[in-house]
Amino acid sequence: MSNLAAERELLRSVACRITLGHLKVAATIVMGERMSYKAKYGALLDDIVNEADAMAMSYFRGGAMGAERKRDGTVVTQADKRIEQMAIAKVQASGLPIDVVGEETSSEPPKGPATNGRARMIIDPIDGTEEFTRGIPTFGTLLGIEENAEIIAGMVSAPALENGARWWAYRGEGAWRGSQRLHVSQVKSLSESMIFTTGTGPRKDAQARERMRRLADAARSSRSMGGFWQHMLVAEGAIECGVDWISKPWDLSPLGIIVEEAGGKSTTVDGQRTIYKGRFVSTNGLLHEAVLKFLG
């Protein structure tokens, strides 16, 4: 079977698998009943990341990824493309009125929240593709759902971390890693904190590099990590701050809600609560203003 034929068969098979949970959600919406965001979207998100995990791990450290460079210099693999196509097919099969914005199928990143009144899913099929291609386990699938200009659901799944790590949150329902509820730390002083940043590489201008160095020097301990995991560590209370200087909406869509539902705070370096401006900062909330003074 050719690659094109295989992809078409994948989409057909996924479209046929509408779960009972999806049908119940659709019926509830039609009947106009109130329901939690988890009840509304949980089955769909779980369904997508379960299959995404299996797809990603079938490629990880196995070669034949078909990795290539995009115009912006970042890496894309066959796993990225297949996961995103699968996610789109599952959304279409769910019966839920959701648009999809994805890193590999959208012509450009959205500049702001949707304006057509519809919910939308924002997906990064593999965040950390560079690490993925190098056999480093800090990669994951990121899903966020936006309604009325607000991210109301987020899920991050990292199948190569600790036999599979999954973080999730629904607005007003707490943040979780698996069955464990998450809470940010209670550290109140930068001098006692641990912070992660994306590092000071050449893609950042001299001023940004200097700001991050000064922030790192003010902390008790610092590391360069980048990507979703640093923000999940903030939500878990393992560290106090994560900084993502260069990022697009699909890099960020589930991160802020997970941190916020764990009791923390996520904004841009100038204090805007949005995923559309880049320069994203998550903290335990207690240190947020002090961090922004170094970065803004």
d(CA 79, CA 82): 5
pLDDT reported for residue 31: 35
Specify if 181 maps to a domain.
Answer: no
Query: How many residues in the chain?
Result: 296
Residues 158 and 37 grouped into a single domain: yes
Number of neighbouring beta carbons within 10 Å of residue 201? 11
Cα–Cα distance, 94 to 72 (Å, whole number): 33
pLDDT of residue 19: 47
pLDDT at residue number 204: 79
> Is residue 178, in this structure, part of any structural domain at all?
no
Q: For residue range 190-204, what is the model confidence (pLDDT) as tens digits?
A: 999 999 988 777 777
pLDDT of residue 205: 83
39, part of any domain:
yes
Is 179 a member of any domain? no
Q: How far apart are CA 18 and CA 113, in angstroms?
A: 28
Is 195 found in the same domain as 84? Answer: no
Q: Considering the domain boundaries, does residue 184 fall inside one?
A: no
Q: For residue 246, what is the domain's CATH number?
A: 3.40.190.80
- In this structure, the answer to whether residues 198 and 239 fall within a common structural domain is yes
pLDDT, tens only, 31-77: 344 589 999 999 999 999 999 999 999 999 987 787 787 777 678 88
Residue 9: its pLDDT value, please? 59
Query: What is the domain extent for residue 253?
Result: 190-295
Q: Do 226 and 166 share a domain, yes or no? A: no
In a domain, 180, yes or no: no
Q: What local confidence, expressed as pLDDT, does residue 12 receive?
A: 56
Q: What tens-digit pLDDT sequence spans the chain (296 residues)?
A: 555 455 555 545 544 444 444 444 444 443 344 589 999 999 999 999 999 999 999 999 987 787 787 777 678 889 999 999 999 999 999 999 999 999 899 988 999 999 999 999 999 999 999 999 999 999 999 999 999 999 999 999 999 998 789 999 999 999 999 999 999 999 999 999 999 988 777 777 888 889 989 999 999 999 988 899 999 999 999 999 999 988 999 999 999 999 999 999 999 999 999 999 999 999 999 999 999 999 98
Is residue 168 located within the same domain as residue 284? no
Contact residues for 5 (Cβ-Cβ < 8 A; gap 6+): none
Residues 237 and 137 in one domain: no
Do 217 and 77 lie in one domain? The reply is no
Q: Are residues 200 and 163 in the same domain?
A: no
Whether 47 and 154 share a structural domain: yes
Residue 183 lies in a domain: no
> What total of structural domains would you count in the chain?
2
- Predicted pLDDT at 218: 95
Domain end residue (candidates: 139, 173, 207)? 173
* pLDDT for res 29: 44
Looking at the structure, tell me whether residues 59 and 204 fall in a common domain. Answer: no
Three-state SS letters, the chain: CCHHHHHHHHHHHHHHCCCHHHHHHHHHHHHCCCCCHHHHHHHHHHHHHHHHHHHHHHHCCCCCCCCEECCCCCEECHHHHHHHHHHHHHHHHHCCCEEEEECCCCCCCCCCCCCCCCEEEEEEEEECHHHHHCCCCCCEEEEEEEECCEEEEEEEEECCCCCCEEEEEECCCCEEECCEECCCCCCCCHHHCEEEECCCCCCCCHHHHHHHHHHHHHCCEEEECCCHHHHHHHHHCCCCEEEECCCCHHHHCCHHHHHHHCCCEEEECCCCCCCCCCCEEEECCCCHHHHHHHHC
Single residue among 113, 144, 173 that ends a domain in this structure: 173
| Domain final residue, candidates 140, 173, 206 | 173
Q: Are residues 149 and 112 in the same domain?
A: yes
Do residue 146 and residue 241 come from a single domain?
Answer: no
